[in-house]
Amino acid sequence: MNPSIVDSSPFLYVRVVEEQQKVVKMDSKICSIPQEMMLGTGEQLFDHIAQCLGEFLESQDLKGQTLPLGFTFSFPCEQKEIDKVSHSKHTTNAQQAHDKHTTSTRQAHDKHTTNTQQAHNKHTTSTRQTHNKHTTSTQQAHNNFEKMISGMYLGEIVRLLLVKMAEDKLLFKGETSEALLTPGQFETKYISEIEEPDSGLENAQKILTALGLNWDPVDACVVRLVCDTISSRSACLCAAALATISNRIRVNRGLDHLKTTVGVDGTVYRKHPNFSEELQAAVRLLAPECDITFLVSEDGSGKGAAMVTAVAQRIALQSMGCYVEKYLEPFRLSLEKLKEVSVRLKKDLIRGLGKHSHHRAAVKMLPTFVRATPDGTEKGDYLALDLGGTNFRVLYVRVVEEQQKVVKMDSKICSIPQEMMLGTGEQLFDHIAQCLGEFLESQDLKGQTLPLGFTFSFPCEQKEIDKSILIRWTKGFSCSGVEGQDVVKLLKEAIHRRGDYDIGSVAMVNDTVGTMMSCGYRDQSCEIGMIIGTGTNACYMEEIKNVKRVEGEDGRMCINTEWGGFGDDGSLKDILTEFDEVVDQTSINPGVHTFEKMISGMYLGEIVRLLLVKMAEDKLLFKGETSEALLTPGQFETKYISEIEEPDSGLENAQKILTALGLNWDPVDACVVRLVCDTISSRSARLCAAALATISNRIRVNRGLDHLKTTVGVDGTVYRKHPNFSEELQAAVRLLAPKCDITFLVSEDGSGKGAAMVTAVAQRIALQSRLLEDSDGEDEEDEDEDEEDK
Ligand code: BG6
Ligand code: GLC
């Protein structure tokens, strides 16, 4: 009996680590299976197994997880599927086998078979007959082959031979002993010990003494010969079987010569001093066309069971892949498609800049009146407000010229309740004024009249640096009475309504501009600002001569592209999916900010949710069931995408999230959900890349350069928090704008600091530009409009 197989079960926690190819991490524990349990009811046995597994999970802190399980069950099973088994017969159930074996051995012993051929003749008929009787009587001729070969039986064959030879006066002076007459007392491991090349004879003597036998040195040699004969037969029979199988594989594949590897395990093979050599030599003779490498299994077959489970999952996933792909394919944008998108955006940028084409342009290309990035000489104390991202912030920024590039800041986050985002403008601005008042109080600044930089992350038509008309709300805000109004005026009115403090000059900036300015203070070649957060947008430094709505020919001005509106005129129809359309229709601003709704944090989670619902309804996920949470808009948060795509903990996170959403998932579901998240975030990153490539190429061409080296200041939770969004975006930009060498600089303290910088820069440079009125068009011809008209 081999105790490690029969009466104990190792529980293993196996982690198959894809990245570290061929490295599998394991923890394991051996649990005993009491003898009586092997003879008890199946329910008792499986309850015990479940209990051991439970204790193991507890000790590994794995109880919360639902991991796939590989079950090495070393009994003959009719396998219906990988997870469906009908058990035919216990062959190695220890006690059963032992009991039957006991009976049979006694019978064999009692009958004292008449075979008297000398024991040292290899493969004697007597042995076979004796042994055959033994097997016939025990398991009705089941597994005869195993009984001639395996560790459970070898010792017993030797014992029976020794008894017979002693009774026939060939050994031990014709005497036996109680131990030798007791079935099972000559253990298989004795064979290995007795055959040890150096210590074998000595071991034999010790064993024979322990068995109470009256031996002499010749007896010890004969016993060694018996052992050698029996183990040799076992090795040769195994070799014959293995040769048959390898030849079959060779012929199956139509090969003259097969090179293959056999994974081997088992105490007989491992422990016997020359079993493996003998087996290998015999196989070489019996299957000369097969070149077989023998690889001894390292960590037992538990690891293999886990591998089978992993492979089964992969295959399930692969076979599911073709169905899943049907849903995901429309989200996969080829490089060619991205190039087309880039060309369309390029046209839209020109249209947005044109004096007459601007009013019907989807991409608004708004002048910001920011004509210079910081040069590091700015200084002074400023207040800043930062409204429109995840957080509303109030800041006190001190720009210290002497300590070049050192900006000191205090800030406070104030919440904006949901109802306020949808209430009246007056309520919103009263709330902003109140937050600012409380902050000034806490900073002891109420008596001062400081200039204020206002990051207002919505599309505004900027008339001057301190006059900014809200074109429309985006990103979930929809306060009445603000669209079409000057936001600076609304803020000042709210502050005056309070009357307990005042502010100095105000500079209005978009968050993209704030980000560019904030990063520009660290890296003066920063001339693009990009946000991929709740919303998405970018600004860049454009040649003033191209900004047809602003007077002047020289120098540059920062343009807030409002690229979120790209596609609002239908130009992206070919890449919109049915899910994008639902997201748009159910948003508070249907038809507006099409591009943003394919990309930004406010919408990504919802796209994933809609896909999961559809796939569950089509029976591809969650056994065809959904849950109340999954059916509720907004319940699949965008941050889940980042969590699920985490390289190490992603699948585990997916399982937790799906559980929290009340879904009935299995491991393949979790993998599919990860694939969905990956597809949606990739599309977002690649679309952003196409847009950024368009802008950087435009800057390069504007300047007549073959090659542009520039820096993009970036902010936004999607860019910051997603595990591989930035890499994917950067890789795609490299392909789409190969002539631009772009450095990505993540904004450090948000765009509030940048708003203060704009105020500082504005104080440094006299604002000379004047805004040309939209509609008059009294001046020169607009070249772009001419092109458009044609
Ligand atoms: C912040 C900036 O860091 O990022 C904001 O200060 C900006 O101005 C925001 O709007 C964008 O990211 P999100 O994810 O908060 O919308
Ligand atoms: C939305 C706003 C835009 C802002 C962007 C990022 O697209 O319209 O002004 O820059 O979100 O916050």
CB 461 within 8 A of CB 366: yes
Q: Please report, for residues 290, 453, 454, the alpha-carbon distance to residue 384 in angstroms, rounded to integers and kept in the order given.
A: 79, 5, 6
Q: Give nearest CA residue, ligand 1 atom 14.
A: 533
Distance CA 221, CA 52 (A): 46
How confident is the model over 500-558, as pLDDT tens digits?
999 998 999 999 999 999 898 788 899 999 999 999 999 999 999 999 999 888 999 99
How confident is the model over 143-179, as pLDDT tens digits?
889 999 999 999 999 999 999 999 999 999 999 999 9
Instruction: Identify which ligand lies nearest to the alpha carbon of 596.
Output: 2
- Whether pLDDT at 656 is above 80: yes
Residue 60 confidence (pLDDT): 84
* CB distance 455 to ligand 1 below 6 Å: yes
Name the helix (H) or strand (E) containing 15.
Answer: strand 8-17
Work out the average pLDDT over 406-416. Answer: 85
Closest by Cα among 634, 595, 789, 690 to 337: 690
Residue 427 confidence (pLDDT): 96
Q: For a pocket test of ligand 1, which of 412, 519, 531, 539 has the largest count of ligand atoms closer than 8 A to its C-beta?
A: 531
Question: Per mean pLDDT, which of 71-75, 257-261, 343-347 is the most reliable?
Answer: 343-347
Q: Where are the alpha helices (DSSP H) in 368-424?
A: 418-421
Tokens representing 520 are 């520009």
Q: For a pocket test of ligand 2, which of 531, 540, 597, 603 has the largest count of ligand atoms closer than 8 A to its C-beta?
A: 531
CB 131 within 8 A of CB 229: no
- Whether pLDDT at 374 is above 50: yes
CA of 752 from ligand 2 middle (Å) equals: 15
Q: Give nearest CA residue, ligand 1 atom 10.
A: 389
Residues whose CB falls within 8 Å of the CB of residue 495, separated by 6 or more in sequence, listed in order: 433, 436, 437, 501, 502, 503
Closest by Cα among 231, 266, 265, 260 to 247: 260
* CB distance 138 to ligand 1 below 6 Å: no
Beta bridge partners of residue 507, listed in sequence order: 453
CA of 720 from ligand 1 middle (Å) equals: 10
Q: Give nearest CA residue, ligand 2 atom 1.
A: 535
CA of 750 from ligand 1 middle (Å) equals: 6
CA of 394 from ligand 1 middle (Å) equals: 13
CA of 457 from ligand 1 middle (Å) equals: 8
How confident is the model over 312-348, as pLDDT tens digits?
766 676 666 678 888 999 999 999 999 999 999 999 9
Q: What is the DSSP letter of 11?
A: E
Angle between helices 188-195 and 217-252 (to 10 degrees): 100
Instruction: Identify which ligand lies nearest to the alpha carbon of 749.
Output: 1
Quickly tell me which residue has 């805004």 as its tokens: 771
CA of 484 from ligand 2 middle (Å) equals: 17
How many residues are listed for the chain in this entry? 790
Instruction: Identify which ligand lies nearest to the alpha carbon of 715.
Output: 1
Specify the range with the lowest mean pLDDT, choosing from 23-32, 231-240, 243-252.
23-32
Average pLDDT of every residue of the chain = 85
Residue 5 confidence (pLDDT): 31
Residue 11 confidence (pLDDT): 62
HEC assignment per residue over 114-163: CCCCCCCCCCCHHHHHHHHHHHHHHHCCCCHHHHHHCHHHHHHHHHHHHH
How confident is the model over 722-768, as pLDDT tens digits?
999 999 999 999 999 999 999 999 998 888 888 888 888 777 664 33
Question: How confident is residue 105, by pLDDT bands cut at 50, 70 and 90?
Answer: very low
Using alpha carbons only, what angle is made at residue 292 by residues 288 and 294, rounded to the nearest 5 degrees?
145
Exposure of 83 in the CB half-sphere (CA atoms within 13 A): 10
Tokens representing 433 are 């004024």
Q: From the alpha carbon of 716, which atom of ligand 1 is closest?
A: 12
Q: Please report the DSSP string for 616-646 in residue order.
A: HHTTSSGGG---TTTTSTT-S-HHHHHHHT-
* CB distance 533 to ligand 1 below 6 Å: yes
Residue 417 confidence (pLDDT): 92
Q: Determine phi and psi for 766, rounding to 5 degrees.
A: -70, 130
Residue 783 confidence (pLDDT): 43
CB atoms within 10 A of CB 418: 9
Tokens representing 494 are 């709210």
Instruction: Identify which ligand lies nearest to the alpha carbon of 473.
Output: 2
Q: Is 459 left (phi over 0), alpha (psi -120 to 50) or beta?
A: beta
**Strands of 740-746's sheet, edge to edge?**
366-367, 556-560, 536-543, 526-532, 708-715, 740-746
Residue 57 confidence (pLDDT): 87
Residue 781 confidence (pLDDT): 41
**So which residues are the catalytic ones?**
393, 457, 511
Question: How confident is residue 782, by pLDDT bands cut at 50, 70 and 90?
Answer: very low
Q: Quote the percentage of the chain above a pLDDT of 70.
A: 83
Pocket of ligand 2 (CB under 6 A): 388-389, 457-459, 474-475, 510-512, 531, 533-537, 562, 564, 596
* CB distance 754 to ligand 1 below 6 Å: no
Q: Please report, for residues 164, 196, 206, 216, 646, the alpha-carbon distance to residue 213 in angstroms, rounded to integers and kept in the order given.
A: 14, 21, 10, 9, 68
* CB distance 10 to ligand 1 below 6 Å: no
Q: Quote the percentage of the chain above a pLDDT of 90.
A: 65
CA of 748 from ligand 1 middle (Å) equals: 11
Residue 521 confidence (pLDDT): 79
Instruction: Identify which ligand lies nearest to the alpha carbon of 638.
Output: 1
Residue 742 confidence (pLDDT): 97
Tokens representing 106 are 């006694």
Judged by DSSP in three states, 748 sits in: coil
Q: Give nearest CA residue, ligand 1 atom 12.
A: 716
Q: From the alpha carbon of 601, which atom of ligand 1 is closest?
A: 14
* CB distance 126 to ligand 1 below 6 Å: no
CB 717 within 8 A of CB 533: yes
Give 596 or 295, the one with higher predicted confidence. 596
Q: Where are the alpha helices (DSSP H) in 196-334?
A: 200-210, 217-252, 267-271, 275-286, 301-328
- Whether pLDDT at 600 is above 70: yes
Q: From the alpha carbon of 388, which atom of ligand 1 is closest?
A: 10
- Whether pLDDT at 463 is above 90: no
Beta bridge partners of residue 746, listed in sequence order: 714
* CB distance 342 to ligand 1 below 6 Å: no
Residue 765 confidence (pLDDT): 62
Work out the average pLDDT over 72-83. Answer: 76
Distance CA 245, CA 240 (A): 9
Judged by DSSP in three states, 36 sits in: helix
